[in-house]
């Protein structure tokens, strides 16, 4: 059970004021206080806790938290037998990341299994039905690989459907002037599902501009990380996305709007929010209907967060700088038990790196880093976010403290063939990193993302929701 920062701080001040007390008095006051606090929180949370324990003791829920190890062997250096290669001095030791980034690696299939193992929800796959296979190709109901990279999911209570929006990248990859692999903008795709496993292609809901070279959506530009939320007050679906030129110098956010979740969306405008550069970004809609924009700024060295206007079509002048100097990108925000959490990645281009989880009591901060959330796989899996980069965290309605962590396993040699790594994310247990304040008492829970070669949502999940 989480205890609030503020309560802790008050206590500490109280102890300082009473420092003339004898040691036993101090200790017994502390014990008494903790018991009271426990009693208080128990009173308030009994129902919730019982419900949570019920769910958490369910076998299929525990299955999600099994720690699976992976042991991927780095292949011997190639060309070793050739006399010329043997004479050459051995280069720096190859790492699994080098193998991952090498499109000719003999273990390529480990990271990018071929079409034969594709997840195809339209086929009778027997025991594998409903299972996610992180990294495998994933087909839509027409048998085509899902194209929704850097995406996010919106649940639409009106149609009782999940909509997955992402970058449609089914075009050739080439190298842009600054050496960055890219695919021309094709547009934002949308897929719909009732069970989060079988996805129907709803088409391109915001398309690139073919002719108008001055338009933000001209195919030569960059459109990344589209996210959609519904505005109850205006009845509109609002999309926010990262808009850039091929050299990533524009560094702006774009906004589009539609009457329907399946579009078409009308492009509204782009801007640098609060007058700052904005690259990787996300939006988050809170329970109270307030929505927020989070973006990487100042050369990706910090994140900025600020509320959107009531119609979600612009930012307000309010903005806070968070995780300053920490160089984080790919933010994905979620909320659990009145605490805000965020997963971010480091900044290493298309190459994978270590994810970190952050937590805050107020969405506007202060945000504290609580550690690397990745569990299982191997040391290298943990240091590379399972060879992927986060894009969104989806709450699982009806399953307390449970989310799906959605990540992209980028394939810079052929971006359209980037894969999806979806894994269960559970909030619970003490955080790993000691906190700067309150003498190391963790005031928020651990965020854990469990590696699984295959996994599925607890059976009956779709019945218990809502």
| List of residues contacting ligand NAG (CB under 6 A) | 126-127, 177, 212, 214-215, 245-247, 249
Residue 249 CB, shortest distance to ligand NAG, in Å, is 6
Would you say 174 and 123 are in contact if contact means Cβ atoms under 8 Å apart?
no
CB of 212 to ligand NAG, least distance (A): 4
Whole-angstrom CA distances from 88 to 62, 85, 99, 225 are 52, 5, 20, 44
302-307 vs 320-322, strand pairing mode: antiparallel
**For residues 79 and 87, is the Cβ–Cβ distance under 8 A?**
no
Backbone φ and ψ for 323, nearest 5 degrees, come out as 45, 45
> Distance between CA 346 and CA 353 in Å, rounded?
6
Closer residue to ligand NAG in complex, CB, 38/215: 215
Q: Least separation, in Å, of the C-beta of 218 and ligand NAG?
A: 8
The torsion angle over the Cα atoms of residues 103, 107, 110 and 114, rounded to 10 degrees, is: 60
Provide, rounded to whole angstroms, the least separation between the CB of residue 279 and ligand NAG.
15
> Do residues 254 and 276 touch, judged by C-beta distance below 8 A?
no
Nearest residue (CB) to ligand NAG, 72 versus 181: 181
Closest distance of CB 349 from ligand NAG, Å: 16
Cβ atoms within 10 Å of 229's Cβ, excluding its own:
18
- Least distance between ligand NAG and beta carbon 213 (Å): 8
For residues 245 and 310, which CB has a smaller minimum distance to ligand NAG in the complex? 245
Residues in Cβ contact with 32 at an 8 Å cutoff, skipping those fewer than 6 apart? none
Question: Does residue 403 contact residue 464 with C-beta atoms inside 8 Å?
Answer: no
- Distance of closest approach, residue 128 Cβ to ligand NAG, in angstroms: 8
Torsion over CA: 370, 372, 374, 377 (sign): negative
Is the Cβ of residue 22 or residue 212 nearer to ligand NAG in the bound state?
A: 212
Nearer to ligand NAG, 42 or 459 (CB): 459
Judged by beta carbon, residue 63 or residue 245, the one nearer ligand NAG is 245
């Amino acid at each position: 059970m989480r205890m609030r920062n503020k309560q802790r701080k008050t206590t500490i001040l109280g102890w300082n004021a009473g420092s003339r007390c004898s040691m036993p008095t101090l200790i017994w006051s502390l014990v008494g206080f903790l018991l009271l606090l426990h009693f208080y929180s128990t009173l308030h949370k009994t129902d919730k806790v019982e419900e949570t324990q019920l769910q958490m003791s369910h076998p299929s829920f525990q299955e999600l938290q099994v720690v699976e190890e992976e042991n991927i062997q780095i292949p011997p250096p190639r060309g070793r037998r050739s006399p010329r290669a043997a004479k050459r001095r051995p280069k720096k030791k190859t790492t699994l990341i080098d193998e991952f980034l090498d499109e000719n690696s003999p273990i390529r299939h480990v990271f990018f299994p071929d079409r034969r193992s594709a997840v195809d929800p339209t086929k009778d796959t027997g025991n594998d039905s409903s299972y996610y296979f992180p990294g495998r190709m994933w087909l839509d109901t027409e048998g085509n690989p899902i194209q929704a990279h850097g995406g996010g999911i919106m649940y639409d209570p009106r149609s009782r459907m999940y909509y997955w929006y992402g970058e449609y990248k089914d075009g050739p990859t080439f190298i842009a002037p600054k050496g960055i692999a890219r695919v021309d903008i094709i547009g934002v795709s949308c897929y719909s599902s009732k069970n989060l496993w079988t996805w129907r292609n709803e088409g391109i809901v915001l398309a690139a501009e073919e002719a108008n070279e001055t338009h933000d959506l001209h195919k030569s530009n960059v459109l990344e990380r589209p996210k959609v939320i519904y505005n109850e007050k205006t009845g509109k679906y609002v999309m926010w996305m990262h808009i850039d030129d091929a050299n990533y110098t524009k560094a702006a956010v774009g906004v589009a709007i539609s009457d329907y979740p399946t579009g078409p969306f009308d492009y509204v405008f782009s801007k640098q929010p609060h007058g700052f550069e904005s690259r990787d970004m996300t939006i988050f809609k809170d329970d109270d209907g307030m929505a927020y924009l989070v973006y990487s700024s100042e050369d990706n060295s910090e994140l900025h967060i600020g509320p959107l206007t009531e119609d979600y079509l612009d930012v307000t002048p309010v903005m806070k700088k968070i995780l300053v100097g920490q160089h984080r990108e790919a933010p994905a925000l979620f909320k659990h038990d009145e605490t805000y959490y965020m997963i971010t990645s480091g900044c290493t281009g298309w190459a994978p790196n270590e994810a970190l989880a952050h937590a805050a009591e107020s969405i506007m901060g202060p945000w504290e880093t609580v550690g690397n959330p990745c569990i299982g796989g191997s040391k290298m899996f943990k240091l590379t976010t399972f060879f992927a980069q986060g894009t969104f965290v989806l709450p699982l309605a009806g399953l307390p403290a449970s989310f799906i962590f959605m990540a992209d396993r980028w394939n810079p040699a052929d971006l359209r063939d980037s894969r999806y790594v979806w894994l269960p994310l559970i909030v619970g247990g003490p955080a790993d990193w000691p906190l700067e304040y309150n003498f190391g008492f963790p005031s928020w829970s651990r965020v854990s993302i469990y590696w699984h070669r295959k996994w599925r949502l607890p059976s009956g999940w779709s019945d218990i929701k809502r």
